[in-house]
Amino acid sequence: MPRPLLTLDQLKLLARDNVVSPGALGLKAFDIAPTPVEAIVPNYLVTYRPHGQFNRKTA
């Protein structure tokens, strides 16, 4: 477990609501197309594959 479990900055962030207000502008208003997390995460995790990022076998 990390020590400390939570930093002071994390506690400050948890003290405030971080949910978007109803009626707020969405991604479409900014011309941003959402991408599913399943399409992005494998590229981030490739380094942590068994035997490194250059192993051609996938899990």
Return the pLDDT at 13: 92
Amino acid (1-letter code) at residue 38:
E
> Domain limits of the chain?
30-59
Return the pLDDT at 4: 82
Residue 25 has pLDDT above 90, yes or no: yes
% of the chain with per-residue pLDDT over 70: 85
**What pTM value is reported for the model?**
0.41
CA distance 20 to 23: 9
Provide the pLDDT confidence category of residue 57 given band limits of 50, 70 and 90.
low
Residue 49: count of CB within 10 angstroms of its CB: 15
Q: State both tokens at 54.
A: 């250059």
